Amino acid sequence: RAATGFHDATSAPYRGGMSDERPAPEEPMSDAAASELAARGTPLSLAMGFETLSDRACGMRVGFRSDLVGDPAQGGLAGGVVFALLDQTCGMAIGIALRARFEAEGRSLAMGGMATLDFRLDHIRPPRAGAPVIAEAECVGLNGDVAVVRGRAYEDDTDDPVAVAQAAFMIMSAPTVTV
């Protein structure tokens, strides 16, 4: 038994129990169009108030909120918020790239999810006090079941980033269901 403080899945504090049901095919990171991710959201993106930016290929924004501040003396968003924003945006970039590939091949997207293989985040400077942060990402490579993504987070100037990221994700195929 794990040292988590609960004894079985029904007493797990994060879900109110678990089930054998498969996740809905509209899992946000795998098949949402760029404009849908933050609107439908993942629990993390909803909790932090991420917004999808429709004026760019793949971008998300987190507005400033005092409960998301890292160092109160500096007043900027926490590094973990920046990480989460870039992680979500990188996942969205993969979904966009896969959708484009599948549409070009005349197939429909059927993806089971993603697993992070490697995520390097370089914090360049702390976010400015009271400022929202924008993240943009691009899938720079899809090879078999591995996707490589680059991203950056900034306030209002892409040439003055808060952080940059490079990540690799494993893409898991959706199980085929026969009836």
The pLDDT tens digits of the residues spanning 4-53 come to 333 333 433 333 333 344 333 333 444 444 444 444 567 777 777 788 88
pLDDT of residue 77: 94
Residue 95, phi then psi, degrees to nearest 5 = -60, -40
pLDDT of residue 9: 37
With a cut of 90, say whether residue 54 has pLDDT above it.
no
Q: What is the DSSP letter of 17?
A: S
Average pLDDT over the chain reads: 77
pLDDT of residue 102: 84
pLDDT of residue 16: 36
With a cut of 60, say whether residue 168 has pLDDT above it.
yes
pLDDT band with cut points at 50, 70 and 90 for residue 175: low
Beta bridge partners of 115: 170
pLDDT of residue 107: 82
Mean pLDDT of 82-99: 91
Cα–Cα distance, 65 to 47 (Å, whole number): 11
pLDDT of residue 19: 36
Spatial strand order of the sheet with 163-173 comes to: 50-53, 59-62, 133-143, 146-154, 163-173, 111-123
Threshold 0.75, pTM exceeds: no
Name every residue whose Cβ is closer than 8 Å to that of residue 32 and which is 6 or more positions away in sequence. Answer: 26, 40, 92, 95
pLDDT of residue 87: 92
Q: Are 31 and 96 in contact (CB under 8 A)?
A: no
Angle at CA of residue 141, ends 148 and 163, nearest 5°: 40
Q: Which amino acid is at 169?
A: F
Beta bridge partners of 141: 148
Closest among 83, 159, 81 to 121, alpha carbons compared: 83
pLDDT, tens only, 105-137? 888 777 678 889 999 999 999 999 999 999 999
Q: Are 97 and 141 in contact (CB under 8 A)?
A: no
